Amino acid sequence: MSGLELAEYRVREIRLGRETRYASGVLEVDAEGLAAFAREDPRVRSARFDVVRPGEKARVTGIRDVVEPRIKTSGTGQVFPGILGPVAPVGQGRTHRLSGMALVTAVAYEGTVRTGTTAQRSAILDMWGPGGDMTPFSSLVNLVLTLDLEDGLSAYEAHQAIQRAEYGLALRLAETTTGLEPDGVEIHDPDARADHLPSAVVIIGCFTEPNHKPSNVAYYGLPVQESLSTVIHPNELTDGAVTPGTIRTVSYHPITWNWQNQPLVLELLRDQRFRFAGVILERIGFETSREKEIAAHNAVRVAASLGADAALITRTGSGNAFIEVMLTVRGCEENGIKTVLVTYEYGGKDGADAPLLYYEKAADAVISTGNRDTVVELPAADRVVGAYDRLQLINYPGAPYVAAHEPLTLEARDVIAGGIDIWGGRDRVCRPY
């Protein structure tokens, strides 16, 4: 595969108007025209747009996904292959991105599963205050798309309707950059590096439930389910070949923006000291010890076949799927592949509990991205946009509701979109005691 040019067009302001166009850092959005485009899907009853800006005392509710608008202007395929169009190889040619902004999609959808790990959940976003400090999305100028879906849709039908609407709109927004000079161009061409360089891979443990479809991760629109490890080219992530497989928005499950901007992959694409051999999607979440051992063994063998000297290992999801991750670390080390594990911690409300579910002695180089379980106190908002004006913060039927604009107490950071830094994309540091 040849290299990919990623052209950046910075957005400093978004305005709702009568035409969709980009000029000098300002994105004007034809809200009526784009809402009509979203309604072309018969499953979408209505669509509306709002703009929220960094520092504004605004709260967004019912968030299902966050997307950075992108478009391919040369090369094969188009962004989000298999979803917006046919399955065609991506990761080469030229791609335009609208940086400094995001399309935030909010939907009032309750789903058929209300409790447990497969429940359909949404997130909130504060653009200021302690909640805003926990997420990268508060620093962006956000275009909020709020969808109202037809009644009676299954989780998979709702997921398809949401993705096709948001991805199609994101493509139209990025289309405004066609023919314009970018603010900068970054070239990603890991295949051109010298063979004598030490070889590195990124292994991402992708959590999926064994008896629930679709899964949490999809490749070219196909849910990763009941599979062993899959090797993909790092540039494919840039073009949206990997996407969320469900509409559940919990911060330890990556949303589209996370996959587009996977920080470990981007760092290896930029670091010329290594030969970047590939990204391995390792399915985790198996139910028996034997299955977990097989999954880890397979991921290690794939890394070895790529000639990996080193591996950055991370994960999505939660629970005992972390066992496969640790077994993969152990297997890599036993096979001479040096590893660094990047993971968030549990830690409990006061940070004093055991930070990880399972340990292996081989995991002697670990980067913590923070505590998931911290209690969060959010102040009252001046403005609420999105899908809900009342929130059910505890995820079970019959739980009490609170007004969305009021001060909120969250039992963990996972209710905040981007509230858990699962892959180490932020510039946090530890404070010694």
Tell me if 374 is assigned to some domain. yes
pLDDT higher at 300 or 410: 300
Tell me if 428 is assigned to some domain. no
pLDDT reported for residue 87: 95
Tell me if 423 is assigned to some domain. no
Q: How many domains does the chain have?
A: 1
Across 174-184, average pLDDT: 97
pTM of the model as a whole = 0.94
CA distance 88 to 83: 11
Helix pair 31-38, 155-174: axis angle to 10 deg? 140
Q: Is the pLDDT of residue 155 over 90?
A: no
pLDDT reported for residue 353: 72
When pLDDT is cut at 50, 70 and 90, the band that residue 52 belongs to is: very high
Of 175-179, 212-216, 407-411, where does the model show the most confidence? 175-179
Across 204-227, average pLDDT: 81
pLDDT reported for residue 346: 82
**Per-residue pLDDT tens digits for 335-351:** 999 999 999 888 777 76
Range in 89-93, 168-172, 306-310, 367-371 the model is least confident about:
367-371
Q: Using CB atoms within 10 A of its CB, is residue 42 exposed (0-12), middle (13-18) or buried (19+)? A: exposed
| Degrees, nearest 5: CA angle 338-339-344 | 170
Tell me if 250 is assigned to some domain. yes
**Per-residue pLDDT tens digits for 239-261:** 999 999 776 666 678 999 999 99
**CA-wise closest residue to 316 among 361, 394, 264:** 264
Tell me if 421 is assigned to some domain. no
SS (H, E, C) the chain: CCCEEEEEEECCEEEEECCCEEECCEEEEEHHHHHHHHCCCCCEEEEEEEEECCCCCEEEEEEEEEECCEEEEECCCCCCECCCECCCCCCCEEEEEEECEEEEEEECCCCCCCCCCCCCCCEEEECCHHHHHCCHHHHCEEEEEEEEECCCCCHHHHHHHHHHHHHHHHHHHHHHHCCCCCCEEEEECHHHCCCCCCEEEEEEEEECCCCCCCCCEEECCEECCCCCCEEECHHHHHCCCEEECCCCCCCCCCCHHHHHCCHHHHHHHHCCCCEEEEEEEEEECCCCHHHHHHHHHHHHHHHHHCCCCEEEEEECCCHHHHHHHHHHHHHHHHCCCEEEEEEEECCCCCCCCCCCCCCCCCCCCEEEEEECCCCEEECCCCEEEECCCEECCCCCCCCCCEECCCCEEECCHHHECCCCCCCCCCCCCCCCC
Tell me if 426 is assigned to some domain. no
pLDDT reported for residue 397: 63
Residue 374 phi, psi (nearest 5) = -65, 135
Across 259-288, average pLDDT: 95
Tell me if 47 is assigned to some domain. yes
When pLDDT is cut at 50, 70 and 90, the band that residue 30 belongs to is: very high
CA distance 67 to 164: 12
pLDDT reported for residue 344: 87
Q: Is the pLDDT of residue 115 over 60?
A: no
Q: Is the pLDDT of residue 116 over 60?
A: no
Across 273-295, average pLDDT: 94
What range does the domain containing 139 cover? Answer: 4-415
Across 89-98, average pLDDT: 97
Tell me if 429 is assigned to some domain. no
Across 65-72, average pLDDT: 97
Q: Is the pLDDT of residue 36 over 90?
A: yes
Q: Is the pLDDT of residue 13 over 90?
A: yes
